[in-house]
Amino acid sequence: MANEERKDGERQPEAQDQPLSGLLNKPVSRRDVLKMAGIGGAGLLLGAAGVGAIFKEGLFAGASSAAKPAAKEAAGDIVEFYGAHQAGIATPSPNFILFAAFDVVGTSLDSVRALFKAWTAAAASMTRGEPVGEESGNDHLPPTDTGESAGLSPSRTTITFGVGPSFFDHRFGLAGKKPAALVDFPAFGGDELRPEWTGGDIGVQVCSDDMQVAFHAIRNLSRIGRGKVVLRWTQEGFQRTGAADPKGATPRNLLGFKDGTANPDTDDDSVMNRVVWAQSADGAGWMAGGTYMAVRRIRMRVEVWDRSTLADQEQTFGRHRASGAPLGGKDEFDEVNLEAKDASGKPLIPMNSHVRLARGDGSAQILRRSYSYSSGMDNKTGQLDAGLLFICFNRDSRKQFIPMQQKLGQSDLLNEYIVHNGSAHFACFPGVRQGGYIGDTLF
């Protein structure tokens, strides 16, 4: 294991500038194919079969030429790990999430730094569908990769890293670098937080179109971190799959409503710079290009909800269930008109409806990127433990998420049907440059 960690820790991200011709003139290694994928053409194949499959059964298997390039999945199947911002924030959300919070063991900053370097190499590999490490061929060692994602495509996997307020306590000498925005959340109205879903020194969000690939990622990160970090809590989540909804309509949450309609436009840089990305002028210069992530595990009382009338449900949100249109409107993306009144002068969108309260005067926005979860039963109540793994990103939680949730926690009609039982806050690092590592602007 020590061996493996050293290797991972020191491995440099691949350079991507080697010409294709150079690669084709010599025996091709697994590493080389990945470089080619970066260049372009071969990338098409990765989506369909995964790197492992290409090697074992496809292009590079010599005599056998069983490769079936299923170009359809291709291009969009790898989400680049390196870049100005971390992937998994403004990038489209794949179908599954596995969120994990870790606590650091010990007080060595060097050890944390080495871990983040090892995680960088592993995350870059895994998001490309490549296994962790290079197998030694010696079967008297544990395999470097745990193997359950062998042959599976990259599945648009993203791995996003952040650190919580507790990371900046006395242990690592980083207290002076704590961003002012990374506060401990205040208690919100209605909170019933449980320690098993709350907090964490480090937060890792893995999103993927394949749950097995997501599991593989958290499991291998946790394995690489053995002795340095321990898992604090994890939560799986899902949305409807692309295959079941090929048109890609706004996904519905487990209360049956379209969720994500009024989200800021992630393609609009000026919106993103205003709403999501921390700016150098915000203080904590190492966070420029990063963002703050609020995670809330929100259980839905689905049994109670299911007994409420359609009218109650729609008044609760301020939107129609079937179409997603704001009350008073017809189409999902119709303008939300908070002034509209019915014949008797009552606002069409109720004063304490979720949408009205969350919107407020429109000045504070957040980027929501939540998933549904179903986690067996709550043994205390005998009811389904299902709900929303609410995740949002914002530039300064003190000005955006926190005041919003304070208002919601106090008056939201939705509170009758939900309970927040988990919570965490993370400063998500800016993106990693080729050759850099996660958190290098901080360490």
CA distance 221 to 79: 18
As beta bridge partners, residue 341 has 347
CA distance 345 to 361: 21
Q: Least distance to ligand HEM from the beta carbon of 315, Å?
A: 13
Closer to its own copies by CB, 60 or 429: give it. 60
Among 213, 355, 367, 391, binds ligand HEM (CB under 6 A): 355
- Give me the 405-424 binding string for ligand HEM, x by CB under 6 A, dash otherwise: x--x---------x------
- Looking at residue 165, its amino acid is P
CA distance 183 to 200: 13
Closer to ligand HEM by CB, 54 or 418: give it. 418
The DSSP secondary structure of 337-398, one letter per residue, reads -TT-B-TTS-BSS-TT-HHHHHHTTS----EE--EEEEEEEETTTTEEEEEEEEEEEES-TT
319 is a site residue for ligand HEM (CB under 6 A)? yes
Instruction: Choose the one of ligand HEM, its own copies, none that binds residue 281, judging by a C-beta under 5 to 8 angstroms depending on kind.
Output: none
401 is a site residue for ligand HEM (CB under 6 A)? yes
CA distance 334 to 270: 23
- Give me the 276-315 binding string for ligand HEM, x by CB under 6 A, dash otherwise: --------------------x-x-x---------------
Closer to its own copies by CB, 142 or 435: give it. 142
CA distance 419 to 416: 8
CA distance 329 to 351: 17
Q: Least distance to its own copies from the beta carbon of 383, Å?
A: 7
Which among 38-46, 155-163, 197-205, 400-408 is the span making contact with ligand HEM, rule CB under 6 A?
400-408
Question: Which among 257, 258, 255, 210 has a CA at the least distance from the CA of 236?
Answer: 210
Among 99, 161, 185, 257, binds ligand HEM (CB under 6 A): 257
- Give the angle 307-309-310 at the CA atoms, nearest 5°: 125
Among 79, 204, 214, 255, binds ligand HEM (CB under 6 A): 255
Among 207, 388, 432, 442, binds ligand HEM (CB under 6 A): 388
Burial of 238 by CB count in 10 Å (0-12 exposed, 13-18 middle, 19+ buried)?
Answer: middle
Q: Give residues in contact with ligand HEM (CB under 6 A).
A: 253, 255, 257-262, 296, 298, 300, 317, 319, 336, 354-355, 358-359, 366, 387-388, 390, 401, 404-405, 408, 418
